[in-house]
Each structure stands twice: as C-alpha cells, then as structure tokens.
Amino acid sequence: MLTKSLTRTASIAALAGAMLLPTHAFGQIDEVITTAQRRTQSAQDVPVSLTVLTAEDLEIRQIEDTLDLQSFVPNLNLGTNTGTANAARIFLRGIGEDESRGLVEPAVGTYVDGVYYGRLVGSLFDLVDLEQIEVLRGPQGTLYGRNSNGGAIKITTKKPDTEAFAANGRVTYGNNERFDVKGSVNMPISDTTALRVSGLYKSRDGFFDINPNGTLGGTNFENVGDLETIAFRGSLSHDVGDWNFLLIADYADDDSDPIPSSIVDSLDADGDIFTVEPAPGSSCVDGGPADREAGSFQFTRPVGCFAGFFNETKSQGVSGQITGDVGQFTIQSITSFRRLDDDLSSHIGFPYRQNTDQEQISQEVTASSNFDGAFNFVTGAYYFKEDLNLDTSFVFPFSVAADVESFAVFGQGEYSVGDITLTGGLRYTDEDREFQGIARSSNLTNAVDVGGSNVSYNAKIDYDVNDDVMIYASYATGFKGGAVSPDCFGPAACFQPVEEEEVGTIEVGFKSRLADDRVRLNGTYFFNQYDNLQIAASVPGLGFTRFNVDETEISGFEFDFTLAPTERFQLNANLGLLDAKYTSLTLAQAGGLTNNGVPCAGGVVTIDCALGLELKNAPSYKANISAQYTQPLGNADLVISGDISFEDDSFNLVANSPASAATDIPDLANARIAYKPNDAFWSVALWARNLTDKEYYRAGTATGNAVYAAEPLTYGVDFGFNF
C-alpha cells in the first residue's frame, strides 16, 4: 500500500517538475536557520536530527495548531488526548505520554519562546504570529533547561521590530460555521523600543450528533464538539546598548468541547462514528438528563447516553528575557510564571470530570562563548517549580496535590579540528517530586516523594565530507522523572509510584546539499534503549494504574527530502520508519501490558505474549509528500499547494485490544490555492483538508469500545491582509 501510493505520488510530482524545467529558471532552496544548539546556524550545518518549519511553511502546509505538525515531522505521532479538548498526546520515535493528570512528566517537552510548559492540558496551541517551529528528536538536556528524554518542540514567536509599523491578519470562513479572526500589530515606539500585539478568535460547530434511546429517547443533541477559543499575546522589546530586554505576556480562554466518544465503527449501530448512539442491544436508563455534567458514581451513562460535554481552560503567563554580551560571552536570562485552570466534563469509558489548578515558575540563565578559535561552549543553570491541585471523578472521586522543585546545571562544548568537530555535554539534575492523594469514597490515601538526582550526557562527532555533505554520529542519555498514578481503585494500587525512566540513544546521520542546492537530503538512523519505561494500563487485581517495564528497544530511520527544480516549484517529502518492541519484562509486567491476558492465547498471561505486543502509537512507517507551485498571473501570483500522508496501522492501547485499540489511518490529502497580488495589501485562499472525507480516529478506550474521531472533510476561504 505504501509503496504503491508513494510511487504514484512521486511519479506525478517528478513529471510536474520535469515539465517545468525547460521553461523556468533553476530553483534554489532557501536556507533554514535553527537555534537548536543555542546559536544561530544553518540547519544543514547542525549535527542534530531536527525539523524546522518557517512561518511560510506553516501557512502553505495549513499548520494551524500543534496537532497539524505530525504530518511534516518524521516519526511524530500527535493527537488530542482521550476525552479532552486541548491536551496533547505527543509520541516521538514511539515514545510519549498520554496521561494528562497527576505527577506525570511529558516525554516530549514543549517550549514557547524558551519557556517550558509543564502540563499536557492546554498544550495543543493555536499557532499565531510565529517565526518558526523546531522539532528536535532524541534526548534534550545538555543545552536546555528542562530535561526531555524523547525530544522537544520549540515554538518561537515573532519579536517586536523598531524599524516600521506593520499589521497583518486573516479572516477564515468555512463549513460547519467555522469563523476565525487572527492578526498582529507591530508598533515602534522609539529607535530602541517596540511593541507587538497579536490575537486570535476561533469558532466552529461540532461534527457530532448524539442520539440517546430508551428512557432518554427523543432528545437529540446536534453539533456537539464545537470550538471556541480566544487568545492574546503582547511583547515589549527595549534595547539598552548591547542588551535587549523582552517582556512577553499571554492569555488564552478555550471553551471548546472535548471530543465526544463514539462506538468503534465496526461495532457501531450505523457504522458512522459522527452519529453517537448506544451500542447495539443496549438502552439508556433514567439517570437525569443526557446533558447533565459528569460526576462520581455515574455507572449507567454509557456512550450514546451521555451528552454533558463541556470544557473551559484558561491559561496565562508572563516571561522576561534579558540578552546581552559581556566580552566574548552572550548572556541570557529567561524568567517566567504560568498559571493553568481547567474544568472538564467528558466521557472516557465512564463519565469523567476534571478540575485542574496549576502554577509554575522557572528561571534559566545561560552563557555562550563567542571565541574565534576552535573551541566554544554553552553552559547554564535552570530552576523549575510547579504546584498542582487536581480533582477528578472517574467512577469514584479523587483529589491529588503535587509539588515539583527541580534544579539543574548543564553545559555543552565543541572543539573543531579541521573538518572534524567533537562535541560533549553534561547535565546534573536534582528534583523533589512530592505527591499526596486521597480517594474520597474509600478514604484511602498515599503520600510519596519520587524525586532524586540524575546525571545525563552526550558525545558527538561530525565530519564535513565537503562543503555540501556532513556525516555525524552521537550517543546521548536522558531521563524522565519518577511519577505517580493519579488513580486509587484499591489498597494494592493506591496512587502507585513508578521509578525513573532512562534512555540511551545512538544516532548516525548525514545532511547533504546537492545539485547546486536544488536538492537537500537528510537521513538518520537511531537506536533507543529504554530502562524502566513508564506505562499506564489496567493491571490484574490492581485496576488502572502505572508501572515500569524493564527494557524496551526502539530503532528506526528518518529521511527529509526537498527538491526545487525551478524557482516556481518545490517538492518536500519525509519518511519515518520504526521498529519498537519490549525486550525484557516480568510476568507481573506482562499481566499489565496484556490487561490480564486479553490478547493472549486462551486468555493466559505469558511473557512471550507480552513481548509480541506492539508499542502503542508507534506505527512502523509514516510518510508525507507535499508540493507547491507558483504561477504568475499578471501582477499577482497563484500559489497551488497540497500534501498527502501515509501511515501504517498501529494500536492506541497498550494491550493492542479490544477493537477500539486498532488505529487504521487512511491516506489523507489536503490542498490550498492562494491568490496574492504583488502590489496590494490583500490576498485570498481556498483550502480543504481531508479531501476524501475519510472517517478515522487516533484514540480509543477499552471500556465500551469507544473511540474519538478525528476531523472529517473541512473546507473554507481565507482573506488575508498585510500592511
């Protein structure tokens, strides 16, 4: 399937490129800049596995929020977390985290303007007024304040500019009553001071109709799952000599509904996951109105009988950056405070209610050398403190509180000898991770500290074969701090703690510019060895909880390809390949992974059965091909762009069972046509996503065979302006 689709699409793209070559000037790929190593460098000169997307890339490829990144980054699997509106489930190279509750760290860190976001709730960002996005794969710690063992997503917004007044924006109309307004204004105040303000309003009807039966029959709910978000950001920049002071404040209020749960299509009454009705043979019973909010002890409200979906998430923050030069060093300080409040009513097998109250502060100071010689380095210190209070109702009511205090020092240096550069980095982290929880129906409690210290490091060598080709190899370690399950379904698994997770990663890669920079091809092989991988699943005799798996191995390849045969046409492609497997575990761990033998022969738990499971959210391949063509029309340009994505079948649940665990993603196509007058302030674009209107899902639950559908066909028009 993949080979056939790739061959067909690549042949069409190659033919189009060949047709253009005789009539137009040769193309050249624009240089892409990254700050992955805390310095401004060409992405082609950095021995790091990464993807950089500029503001122009985001527009042309219709990347509206972080959810849309997954098609354009090899081995990135990203979705909305089960039963939520804005919590990201980020898996990179087969490893991630989909637990948005309690004392649990994301495996892939998210940074906005250098500030780490500690919660998965609220981490599906709408992308407004951005400079670029960088996705770094593999352990990150010797250059960044907060350790991330799976990778990092770095979002950089546009900064105030003292040169000239500017304003830009966009209004979007689409099907399902979609209406968006976004824009930004840059205002110079003086030669040294400027202000930039951006904002977003986004709304859309939901895709779901809920049709209860039985005693609740006759009361139907239409357009459930609507979007409504408003967000603002302001930044003030001031220069004093060689120093810059940057103050950033942001606020977002997301009142979008969580994605409703549906019965998996193979078992659904009408086979349509956007019309939600009870499972065949079951009937709703009177437990109050179907749209009553979720709460505790609601045992008789299955899928199709529950319509009480709502969410309100408010997030706000302020940060201050100070950057300047002292002699041959660049000094930077980033100070931040953030607050998150979340009120969620949803359905995850049973009605689910969540109230989150989180605050975090962080302080990072770095010093980067600017020596003229062969040696340079970056060193820094980082402090992070988080206070979390979480009340949930998942059959039973639970309350938890967590306090995290983390301090780290880190550094990385590089030494060049001719065409060879040697790089080494070291990080020391010390954390207090305190947790308290109570199951309010049983009064069972637990209090635990899963903190500790860790030393992680990396070593790297890269060699410039010539001016256009670089090869590199590296070894890096990383860790994910100890965690605590937010659930307590019995004395044996009451807020169960798990040990620290550690990883060692080998990478071998190359980066190349070919054909006078009309072709770029980058590739990486990686091998990850995880010890004590943290898993959340149902464990026999314990209920839903967290546990460690002794050893896990994940290896794979990643390729990025860009072709610009003419100045008007560009083709991009990426491919990610994964081989992920458990390699060593105990019989007790096998029972947790298989949900007490559900997928095993005869229902009997065995280690061999567990070793044969696929890791969740780890498809063996993912690929995307995108293209854009610019056709002059008088004094304007017509820009035609589109992409198609391919993905292997995978599983979204640890036990690879039941039917709702199987994730079958169809080939997905998107397209956009934009008209841009050269001497006018306006532009217009027609767009469509999921062109063939495929029904699919990326998340499910074992209880009730429920799934959470992705968006169907959407289309609309954008009206843009730029002064």
Amino acid at 127: L
3-state secondary structure of 423: strand
More confident residue, 103 or 515: 515
Confidence of residue 703 (pLDDT cuts 50, 70, 90): confident
290 Cβ contact list (under 8 Å, min separation 6): 210, 212, 216, 219, 221, 284, 301, 305, 306, 307, 308
Q: Give the Cα separation of 682 and 640 in Å (integer).
A: 17
pLDDT single digits (tens) 41-98: 899 999 999 999 999 999 999 998 888 999 999 999 988 888 888 888 899 999 888 8
Mean of pLDDT over the chain = 91
Q: Give the Cα separation of 318 and 339 in Å (integer).
A: 9
Res. 247: pLDDT tops 50: yes
**Alpha-carbon dihedral angle through residues 412, 416, 419, 420, given to the nearest 10 degrees:** -50
pLDDT at position 24: 57
- Considering only CA atoms, which of 360, 361, 319 is closest in space to residue 340? 360
Total-model pTM: 0.93
In the chain, % of residues over pLDDT 90: 75
**What average pLDDT score do residues 94-105 get?**
83
Res. 253: pLDDT tops 80: yes
660 Cβ contact list (under 8 Å, min separation 6): 264, 652, 653, 700, 701, 702, 705, 706, 707
Res. 99: pLDDT tops 90: no
Indicate the burial class of 205 (C-beta count within 10 angstroms; 0-12, 13-18, 19 or more). middle
Would you give the DSSP letter of residue 138? S
Q: What is the DSSP string of 61-125?
A: TT--BGGGGGGSSTTEEEEEPTT-SS-EEEEETTEEE---SSS---SEEEEETTEEP--STT-S-
pLDDT single digits (tens) 568-598: 999 999 999 999 999 999 999 999 999 889 9
3 state SS for 313-368? EEEEEEEEEEEEEECCEEEEEEEEEEEEEEEEEEEECEEEEEEEEEEEEEEEEEEE
- Considering only CA atoms, which of 127, 138, 29 is closest in space to residue 69? 127
Of 81-90, 199-208, 397-406, which gets the smallest average pLDDT? 81-90
Q: 148 with 140: CB under 8 angstroms?
A: yes
Cα-to-chain-centroid distance, residue 430: 26
pLDDT at position 14: 41
Query: Which of 25-39, 141-155, 702-716 is the most confident on average?
Result: 702-716
- Considering only CA atoms, which of 117, 140, 137 is closest in space to residue 51? 137
Confidence of residue 358 (pLDDT cuts 50, 70, 90): very high
Would you give the DSSP letter of residue 140? B
**What average pLDDT score do residues 609-631 get?**
96
Of 213-217, 326-330, 332-336, 489-493, which gets the smallest average pLDDT? 489-493
pLDDT at position 334: 97
**What average pLDDT score do residues 173-186 get?**
96
Element (DSSP H or E) covering residue 398 = strand 396-417
Res. 287: pLDDT tops 90: no
**What average pLDDT score do residues 381-393 get?**
95
Angle at 392 between CA 498 and CA 500, to 5 degrees: 15
- Considering only CA atoms, which of 302, 199, 208 is closest in space to residue 257? 208
- Considering only CA atoms, which of 584, 471, 459, 578 is closest in space to residue 527? 578
Q: 627 with 572: CB under 8 angstroms?
A: yes
pLDDT at position 232: 95
Would you give the DSSP letter of residue 710? P
pLDDT single digits (tens) 505-551: 999 999 999 999 999 999 999 999 999 999 988 776 667 788 999 99
Res. 185: pLDDT tops 50: yes
Checking 605-612 for CB contacts under 8 A at 24+ apart, the result is: 605/540, 610/582, 610/585, 611/581, 611/582, 611/583, 611/585
Confidence of residue 123 (pLDDT cuts 50, 70, 90): low
Q: 479 with 147: CB under 8 angstroms?
A: yes
Res. 5: pLDDT tops 50: no
**What average pLDDT score do residues 464-479 get?**
96
Q: Domains of the chain: which residue ranges?
A: 2-449+458-722
- Considering only CA atoms, which of 706, 709, 690, 712 is closest in space to residue 698? 709
pLDDT single digits (tens) 295-329: 998 888 999 999 999 999 999 999 999 999 999 99
pLDDT at position 544: 78
Phi/psi at 660 (5° precision): -70, -15
Q: Give the Cα separation of 447 and 494 in Å (integer).
A: 10
Would you give the DSSP letter of residue 43? G
Res. 12: pLDDT tops 70: no
Domain 2-449+458-722 has CATH 3.40.50.11540: no
pLDDT at position 413: 96
